Each structure stands twice: as structure tokens, then as C-alpha cells.
Amino acid sequence: MKKGFDNEKYLATQSRCIRERIDKFGDKLYLEFGGKLFDDYHASRVLPGFEPDSKLQLLMQLSEHAEIVIVISAVDIEKNKIRGDLGITYDTDVLRLIDSFEERGLFVGSVVITKYSGQTSADLFKQRLIKLGIKVYTLYMIPGYPNNVSHIVSDEGFGKNDYIETSRPLVVITAPGPGSGKMATCLSQLYQEHRRGIRAGYAKFETFPIWNIPLKHPINLAYEAATADLNDVNMIDPFHLEAYGFTTVNYNRDVEIFPVLKAMFEKIYGESPYQSPTDMGVNMAGNCICDDALCQEASRQEIIRRYFNALNGLLTGRNQEEEVYKIELIMNQAGVTATDRKVVPAARRVAELTGAPAAAIELPDGRIITGKTSDLLGAASAVLLNALKELAGIDHEKNIIAPESLEPIQRLKTAYLGSRNPRLHTDEVLIALSISAATHEDAALAMKQLPKLAECQAHTSVMLSPVDIKKLKQLGIQFTMEAKYENNKNYH
């Protein structure tokens, strides 16, 4: 894969920047970590060369000085909010995060439940954590938050929250997703620490938007597309422009809340350590782009992927029309259409010719491989096998799965498991291929090509089944789907 981002430079400059910010405040730094810590696939897609676990690698460089506090909103627990990329609830993801951090030798100090107002599900989750030996603290809903500063920064506001006991100079505040209350947790702790005579500071580490590239750069537009459901909008930081005379990029929520934050800092410290929301950040990603043209194109492709995802969500009832409209506007700003994704017209063309669902995949060297629906295979399964044959140099007319291994799978599905569809899904095809690989040289050769599918682009002319979606994700294929079901049934 071509690289547009220097990950080694990023790790070095970013860790140095965080250390400098710790030194600035003295006793303790509360660092709000935005985005995903060890599976930031959005960043790796728009910044080719960025490792999805780069933030985790940074933390591991600072592990002797850092402890992690995981924040979750009681409102999200009550709503059983789902993390879209993993398909698990936020409370389950908290447990996953704890295990993942500790497996890597990082210290998780506690879990904080924010926005608490007596939710029963939050109480049950708290008891579950306590039984697991995990420290839990509670932050309450504060009337007038965030605008009533005099009430918030008082014994009746932040003073009513639990004091989170921490033991290391760098406290990383992270969460399963946005809107969890990370910033409120940091501010509450600044107030609590100040009351105890501890000199603590706050900084924000969020990769996007990148503050020192243009406002309408495709990388920043891709971030807007990724957060279309949150109504985030990138904008020039007016406070930074006024204070320093040059333009930087931030996003609306931080710009809108900054006057309130500054007033809180002044009430806690007597003065604000920051003159702008950009000042609060410690993000060095913009300094590590080494091929801007490559990152621009990768970001334009991400915007198109987000557009199809929004259309899929609209069809399934997960999204609102406004999200689709917003991404359409972003596509116009980026100068792209859906057909600028090469696999889209390729899949549509085969679907039109065959009158059945079809798929297309773009291999690392740019070759486009297609697959069509048959009595035996679904479109996703067909294109997967065709891509493996192409990568292995095997004639497409040749069978690489022994026919005798397919019939029993079809019989199992229809005769014993109640399926009306005898066509094989991607998981079933991969199992059949692995069985054939034990005795057939071509199948074994095709199996060895599977790692080459990672980061390939794919598109299907209809919505895929959950099992196909899961398998394509596991293979690392970056796929999109038309917002269209294969049949006209109401239940899917």
C-alpha cells in the first residue's frame, strides 16, 4: 500500500507534544482522548500509512506515567446504545476496552458513569463492575449544564460529583463513543483537584478535524461525513484567529462551548490557560502527512463510502434523511459522485446485464473483478472466489472448491436448518475452500491469497446479509452496498 502518512514521525512528535503538555501543568494532566484508541480505521482509511492502533502505541510509550479512565453515559446505558462498527452495546464495549488495555500492560484506574439521574440499568451495570473488582465513580446530571457556570463550578455542581481517585500524572479519559461526557469528567476533576490543592490541567487529543490544513481539505470533509449524524461542522476557530492572527480549523461544538470552558477555567484557576479551542489540542497528525494528493483521494473515497452507509441506514431505519442530505452536500464540496468509486459502476453494470444481484472488487493493482448471483453462490461469495482466482493466477473457468463439499452444505441449510436459500454465503464458501485446500493444490493456493484482500474496495448491487457483512469486515475489505434489498419482503 502506498503511504501518504508517516506513522513513525507521528508517534515521535505526538508523544513529545503530550509530554510537553504534562510538564506545562505540573502535578497532573487530564487528557481527553477523542475517537477510537486502538481501532481507528477511519484515520487509517483517510491517512494511508496511519496504523489503526497508533493512539494505543502512543499510550504504551507513556504507560509508566499514564492511567486510563473509561467514561460511559448512563443515558447510553439506558438506551442500549450500539457501537456501529462492532455491533455491541456501549456497556459491553467498556468491558472489552478494559480487557484490551490490560492485555497490553496499560493501567485502567476506573470507570466513570456520567449523566446519572437514577437510571436502573446504570445501577445494575455499576454493580456488575464492582463485582468484577473495578472501581466505579458517578457524575450526576447538573441543572443548567453547560451554561450556568456559577452553579456548575460550585459545591452544588461539580462538587456533588464523586472525586475520581487517580495515581499517575497523565490521566487519559476515553469512552466507547461520542457524547459520553469525557469533557465534563475532565472539568469536574479540575474543580475537585483544585479544591484539594492539586495543580491539574486539561488538554484534548482528537485526530479530526486536523487543525493546520485547509477547512475544506478532503480529510476534514471526510470527518464531517463521518460525524454527519452528530451534526458536527468544521469551521475556522474565531478565538484563535483573534488571539494569534492566523487561521486554524476546529469544529462547531468546541467553538460553541469554548466561552463557557474559558469561564470555567477562570473560575477554577483564576485565569484561563487557553485562548482558543485549538490551544487545547495536542494533535500533530497534520505535520506527518507526506503525500497530500494520496490522502486527498483516500478521503474522497471515504466520503463516498459514508454516503452509501448513510443510504443503507436510511433504508434500515437507523438514519435520518438529514444525514444523507448533509453527506450529499459534502460530496459536492469534495467534487465527487458515487460513480467516482470504480467498483460502483462495475457492479451496477453486471447487475443490469444479468438481472440479478452482482458485486465488484478492486484489487491492489487496480484490476476490477466482478461476481454474479447463481444457483450456487450469492454475489459476494462469487466475487470473493473470482478475486482469489485472479490473485492466484488460476483460470476462472476452473473449480477451486470440490463439488462434493458443496452439496452437503446446501442440504444442511435447506433440509435441516430451515433456510429457503440454498446459495452459499461467504462464510460457507470459505469453509468449503479450506476443506478443499487440504487435498487440492489450486484451493490451497487460493487460500493463501486471502491476506491480499485487506483494504481492497468492493461494492454490491444489493444489501448484504449480516453474515456476509461480518465476513467482509473480517477480511479487511472496504465495501459499500446499494440501499436496495434483493427481494420485496417487509422483513429482512
Using alpha carbons, select from 462, 488, 473 the residue that is nearest to residue 358.
462
Q: Could you give the CA distance from residue 290 to residue 350 in angstroms, rounded to a whole number?
A: 38
pLDDT at 24 (0 to 100): 87
Question: pLDDT category, 232, cuts 50, 70, 90?
Answer: confident
Inform me whether the pLDDT recorded for 265 exceeds 70.
Answer: yes
Q: Could you give the CA distance from residue 152 to residue 404 in angstroms, rounded to a whole number?
A: 70
Q: Could you give the CA distance from residue 138 to residue 117 in angstroms, rounded to a whole number?
A: 10
Percentage of the chain modeled with pLDDT above 90: 75
The cell 473509561 sits on which residue? Answer: 70
Whether 305 contacts 331, CB under 8 Å: no
Q: Which three cell numbers stand for residue 292?
A: 497530500
pLDDT at 490 (0 to 100): 59
As a whole number, the mean pLDDT across the chain is 92
Q: What is the pLDDT of residues 156-202, one digit of tens each?
A: 999 999 999 999 999 999 999 888 999 999 999 999 999 999 989 99
For residue 452, give the amino acid letter.
K
Inform me whether the pLDDT recorded for 26 exceeds 80.
Answer: no
Question: pLDDT category, 334, cuts 50, 70, 90?
Answer: very high
Q: What is the pLDDT of residues 355-387, one digit of tens each?
A: 999 999 999 999 999 999 998 899 999 999 999
pLDDT at 311 (0 to 100): 96
Domains and CATH numbers, the chain: 7-222+237-288 (3.10.630.10), 342-481 (3.40.140.40)
CA atoms within a 13 Å half-sphere pointing along the CA-CB vector of 64: 2
Question: pLDDT category, 141, cuts 50, 70, 90?
Answer: very high
Q: What is the pLDDT of residues 457-489, one digit of tens each?
A: 999 999 999 999 999 999 999 999 999 998 776
Question: pLDDT category, 491, cuts 50, 70, 90?
Answer: low
For residue 390, give the amino acid letter.
E
Q: Could you give the CA distance from residue 251 to residue 247 in angstroms, rounded to a whole number?
A: 13
Q: Which three cell numbers stand for residue 236?
A: 475556522
